[in-house]
A and B are shown apart, each in its own frame.
Chain A
Amino acid sequence: MAPLLELEGIGKTYPGVRALDGVSLHLDRGEILGLIGENGAGKSTLMKVLGGVVPPSEGTLRIDGQVQESWDVPAATRAGIAFVHQELSLFDNLDVAGNVLFGREPLRGGLLRLVDRRATREKVAPILQRLGADFTPDTPVAELSIAQRQLVEIARALAAEARIIILDEPTSSLTLSETARLLTVVKELRADGVGLIYITHRLGEIVDCADRVVCLRDGKMVGALRREDIAHGTMIRLMIGRELRSLYAPPANPPGEGGLAVRGLVTTAFPGSAVDLHIRPGEILGLAGLVGAGRTSLARTLFGIDLPLAGEVRLDGKPLTLRGPRDAVAAGIYLAPEDRKKAGLVLDMPITENVTLASAPDYTRGGLMVHRLERSAAEKQRQGLRIKAPNCSVRAGTLSGGNQQKVVLGKWLSMAPRVILFDEPTRGIDVGAKGEIYALMRALSDRGVAILMISSDMEEVLGVSDRIVVMHEGRISGGLDRAGFSEQAVLRLAIGSRHEAEEAHA
């Protein structure tokens, strides 16, 4: 029998970027295929191709051995492909049944096309039962936890009679017990003959459930593992293509005194946990942890966007009151946010105005802005950071991710940085530009700037930091010196076990 799904030589080229290059894979009925790869390896693009959202530049796609000529979203749905996304895509103003059967509501009343609520419930209830859900079809989605919402997504896939379910980082926001239950559900689906593609960074889950693993790197399929070969080590080797590459550039000087000292800081995200942290000038402190561990809220609080519930922040020994980003910026604490497009840049403004946005009053004479001064400041950053743009009047929105990040950096470098908080500094940036960003961070730290780098990219955390602290559920679960760096140590702290870990140095 032909495989359920076959991809052959799939390629996708965006202007200037080869996102996928000759990717081939197949999926059988009743099989869980683990798909692994680093951020930016092409997993999302591949899934977009599979879902019909993005047309491939080349290659063929076969369902049950039939070559699919025109492949788009409706075709993918007809073929029984369903997605369970990492960003949940439910309508939280509807109840569970409404979500599960959205777009396929049973109707009554002929031309009036009324939604048959009773039939909806009757159709959804058995699906929820099969998934072992502890909520009813009438429960409003707004009342559900993230894990329960994940189940609703799966129920939606089942209601669509999906034969191929793609789970994209389904557990990134789940607790361990919730993860375990999700894995049980996934295995039951396999037993029912559904083909599943399981994408995750959590290799342990792959070891637990996958029948086969394929790995993407830089848009290419770099290897496959059979059930008996699946193990952390083999997978990591496939993902990074070698032993952990050394990104590390040691600091020019030992870290200085002072810097940003945080004592007993309580953020609104975790009212029950206090954070102690010390970022020294001249060092890059990596902040690791799972998604949702409270790292971003810590950065937002240190930058004054969220107000702390308690605790103390000192810069070079002097206490700081942070009532808003204005106070942080005035003190020289800058944030390069996770979402550059939303919070870092004004995409419709030229590079110049983005660079001078936070320090506009510095470019005035007699209260009026002097464009010449602005332009020369921006030009200096463009050359210093090697921003790839013909000139500084180009809109920031037209630049690539790496160059956008450089514009954000240019904004802060044109001022007087004391502390820079990087939240996922290289997310969505391709490999070459990553190296440049790391070098810039090191140069900054060697100038005496204290740097905090939040990152979910293990290679980056281990390769760039001088010291690592790890967060777990709102608190610092431990710290590591360079000598103690290892993926296992970081992961252990990230999932909350203090075992073998040193105390945080803060």
Chain B
Amino acid sequence: MSKKELGLALLLVVIGGITAALNPLFLSGVNLLNMANLIGLFGIFAIGQGLIIITGGIDLSVGSMFALLGVVLVDLLVNFELFWPLAVLATIGIGLALGLLHGLLVTRLKLQPFVVTLCGLLIYRGIARYYTQDSTSGFGYAGDIDTVSWLASGRSFGIPNPFIIMVVVAIIMAVVLHRTVFGRYLYAVGRNEEAARHSGINTDAVITGAYLLGGALAGLAGVLLVFYTSSVSPSSFGSFYELYAIAAAVLGGCSLRGGEGSILGIVLGTVLLQILQNLVNILGIPSSLNFAVMGGVILLGVIADQQLGQRKQRIQLSRAQGHAPAE
């Protein structure tokens, strides 16, 4: 665990401790399970977002993608009565395909990730709303969805399944990011794409890979979200979720300049965000202040991190010069 992650974990404990002291309900079983569920849901796509941010990109389309995928999933299950594993795979597949599209637009046409995914944000939401004529779709009396519904929103050993899935995803992605060649390339591309290219790395493939993973994880999270809310209103489903994901990644140590961040950090960032959300409710702070609290904490976190980072750099520099005064 790096110092950054340790600091974040410490912050979590402090904020959690204060909240618990002010209102013991914070540590009640129901509340913890509810938070774990949300952490699972948000953590999965925050990890995808983090991977993209590490390459120096960004994905603004996640929330709209949820609306589109949600609409499609409900339609496949309810109207087409598709066997649920196929429907789930198709949904994740669409997420993957949209990720691929983003990746290709960014690498082949050299468009800016911000612009590409901003257009995605507008387009996917629009399609979802048009497709359903803006009406909320739900499962109603759909047939055989008990199994998938349990998988996506039930509990195993008393732990919400989304949380378990998120932990599994996090472990896999941590190995991918921190131990594989692809992970090394992600960092290299994010820090200095040109040098990576000059080292013979297929940087376009690496970047596209990050968007692919981001799309697939968004697809998975989309499926879980649909079963969490059990209905999809295309105009609001998943709204602003891309910002939660970006916020979690940034809180967790990802730099929007790319090349920095860790899976553990992103997960801790998600946890912190959910605790903040929860704290607003549980401490009776007007819920209209929700966003303001979140924004304030992120700002403070980033400022603190910046200051500490600069100090560390100064120390490193003087140390390096001490060791190697001249050539």
Contacts and interface: CB of A to CB of B under 8 A. Distances in A.
Interface of A: 15-17, 303, 305, 324-326, 328-330, 335, 337, 342-349, 353, 357-358, 360-361, 364, 367-369, 388-390, 394-395, 398-403, 411, 429-430, 432-433
A348 B316 CA distance: 12
A400 B327 CA distance: 7
Contacts of A395: 316
28 contacts: A15-B325, A16-B326, A325-B199, A326-B200, A335-B198, A343-B197, A343-B198, A344-B195, A345-B195, A346-B188, A348-B191, A349-B191, A357-B184, A357-B196, A360-B184, A367-B181, A369-B181, A388-B324, A388-B327, A389-B323, A390-B320, A390-B323, A394-B320, A399-B320, A400-B324, A403-B324, A430-B327, A432-B327
Given A17-B326, A389-B320, A358 B192 contact: no
Given A343-B198, A348-B259, 19 more contacts: A16-B325, A17-B326, A303-B198, A325-B199, A325-B200, A346-B191, A357-B199, A358-B200, A360-B181, A364-B181, A367-B180, A369-B180, A388-B323, A389-B320, A389-B323, A398-B316, A400-B326, A401-B327, A429-B327
A19 to B, nearest CB: 11
Q: Which 3 A-B pairs have the closest CB atoms?
A: A329-B200, A398-B320, A358-B199
A406 B200 CA distance: 18
Q: Is the interface of B mostly helix, strand, loop or mixed?
A: helix
A305 B196 contact: no
A324 B323 CA distance: 38
A402 B324 CA distance: 11
A343 B194 contact: yes
A400 B194 CA distance: 21
A357 B186 CA distance: 11
Contacts of A326: 200-202
B198 A15 contact: no
Contact of A361 (B181, B195, B321): B181
B187 A349 contact: yes
Interface string B302-327: 00000000000000110011011111
Contact-residue bracket for chain B: 20 to 34
B256 to A, nearest CB: 15
A98 to B, nearest CB: 27
Interface string B187-230: 11001101111111110000000000000000000000000000
B175 interface: yes
Contacts of B200: 324-326, 328-330, 358
Q: Which of B179, B198, B316, B317 has the most CB of A within 10 A?
A: B198
Contacts of B327: 388, 400-403, 429-430, 432-433
A344 B320 CA distance: 20
Contacts of A328: 200
Nearest to A402: B327
B185 interface: yes
B246 to A, nearest CB: 21
Nearest to B192: A346
Contact of B179 (A342, A369, A388): A369
A115 B326 CA distance: 50
Contacts of A357: 184, 188, 195-196, 199, 201
Q: Which of B179, B180, B184, B327 has the most C-beta atoms of chain A within 10 angstroms of its own C-beta?
A: B327
Contacts of B175: 368
Interface string B160-184: 0000000000000001000111011
A402 B327 CA distance: 7
B2 to A, nearest CB: 13
B209 to A, nearest CB: 15
A242 B77 CA distance: 86
A486 B175 CA distance: 58
B208 to A, nearest CB: 15
Contacts of A433: 327
Contacts of B199: 325, 329, 357-358, 411
Contacts of A394: 320
Nearest to A348: B191
A399 B316 contact: no
Contacts of A401: 327
Contacts of A429: 327
B198 A337 contact: yes
A433 B316 CA distance: 23
Contacts of B194: 342-343
A161 B259 CA distance: 46
Contacts of B197: 305, 324-325, 343
A296 to B, nearest CB: 13
Contacts of A358: 199-201
Contacts of A430: 326-327
Contacts of B191: 346-349
B317 A398 contact: yes
Contact of A389 (B179, B324, B325): B324
Contacts of B196: 346, 357
Interface string B88-105: 000000000000000000
Contacts of A329: 199-200
A305 B195 contact: no
Contacts of A346: 188, 191-192, 195-196, 259
A353 B180 contact: no
A328 B199 CA distance: 10
A235 to B, nearest CB: 27
Contacts of A348: 191-192, 259
